């Protein structure tokens, strides 16, 4: 069985694409495709079902943020990392609110890119809680708070508690210690939470919970 992480690269700069392919393949990550436009990204995601997309913002046809929204609407299980040259707080807020698992600059170290891919593929967060809190605060000022009654899934009390601890930025080991269960049990619960919420990673699960006031 091929257990490699499968990545789609969405960028219209060929040199950047070839560099990412080299970095990822060297670290045992499989690049399953390359999209040069936003619309092609959406189409290839549906066709290839990658685990992770590395997505530029500035692309022809449909920009990366528009493509991100379309990808997460049709393929919520795919994690998307924005990889851009633009250190723009507005872009960051929009990207996370649309479903991005993370936001990296193109001048980041190659090892950081592969580490980020592995992290989000495992459902973990690559945004620290200070950044997440900043994004949530900005979102809360511009959007109507969502009532838990609007679309609450059938979370068990244990899953609600785990979700609350995720919003505090705690890792699986710490959550397991707090709840006096094994880390594997926590992993199982988190997978169920992701499925019920229709999210692919901890960042989006935390945003879902914080938007609904579901914090400890």
Full set of structural domains in the chain with CATH = 6-122 (3.40.50.2300), 147-211 (1.10.10.10)
Q: Is 193 helix (H, G, I), strand (E, B) or coil?
A: helix
The whole-number pLDDT of residue 130 equals 67
- Helix and strand numbers, DSSP H then E, in the chain: 11, 5
Model confidence at 1, pLDDT cuts 50, 70, 90, reads very low
**pLDDT exceeding 70 applies to what percent of the chain?**
88
φ, ψ (nearest 5 deg) of residue 35: -115, 135
Q: What is the pTM for the complete model shown?
A: 0.82
Look at 85 and 1; give whichever has higher pLDDT.
85
Chain-centre distance for alpha carbon 160: 20
Share of the chain above pLDDT 90, in %: 56
Mean pLDDT calculated for residue range 153-157 = 85
Sequence-distant (≥ 6) Cβ neighbours of residue 168 within 8 angstroms: 129, 215, 216
- Residue 145 pLDDT grade (very low, low, confident, very high; cuts 50, 70, 90): low
Instruction: Say what the pLDDT of residue 128 is.
Output: 62
Query: In this predicted structure, what is the pLDDT of residue 147?
Result: 53
Q: Output phi, psi for 212, to 5 deg.
A: -100, 10
Picking from 144-148, 180-184, 204-208, which range would have the lowest pLDDT averaged per residue?
Answer: 144-148
The mean predicted confidence, pLDDT, of the chain is 87
**pLDDT tens-digit series, residues 4-52:** 999 999 999 999 999 999 999 999 999 999 999 999 999 999 999 999 9
**pLDDT tens digit string along 61-85?**
899 999 999 999 999 889 999 999 9
H or E element in which residue 1 lies: none
pLDDT at 87: 82
């Amino acid at each position: 069985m091929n257990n490699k992480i499968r990545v789609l690269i969405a960028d219209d700069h060929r040199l950047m694409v070839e560099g990412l392919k080299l970095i990822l393949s060297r670290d045992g990550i499989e690049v399953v495709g390359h999209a040069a436009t936003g619309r092609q990204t959406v189409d290839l995601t549906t066709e290839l079902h990658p685990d992770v997309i590395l997505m530029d913002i500035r692309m022809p046809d449909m920009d990366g943020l528009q493509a991100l929204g379309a990808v997460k609407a049709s393929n919520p299980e795919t994690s998307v990392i924005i990889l851009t040259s633009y250190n723009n707080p507005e872009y960051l807020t929009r990207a996370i609110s649309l479903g991005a698992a993370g936001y990296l600059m193109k001048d980041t170290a190659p090892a950081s890119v592969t580490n980020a891919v592995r992290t989000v593929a495992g459902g973990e967060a690559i945004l620290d809680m200070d950044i997440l809190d900043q994004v949530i605060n900005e979102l809360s000022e511009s959007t109507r708070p969502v009532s838990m009654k609007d679309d609450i899934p059938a979370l068990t009390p244990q899953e609600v508690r785990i979700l609350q601890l995720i919003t505090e930025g705690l890792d699986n080991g710490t959550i397991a210690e707090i709840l006096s269960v094994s880390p594997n049990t926590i992993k199982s619960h988190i997978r169920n939470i992701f499925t019920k919420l229709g999210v692919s990673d901890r960042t989006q699960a935390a945003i879902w919970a914080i938007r609904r006031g579901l914090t400890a």
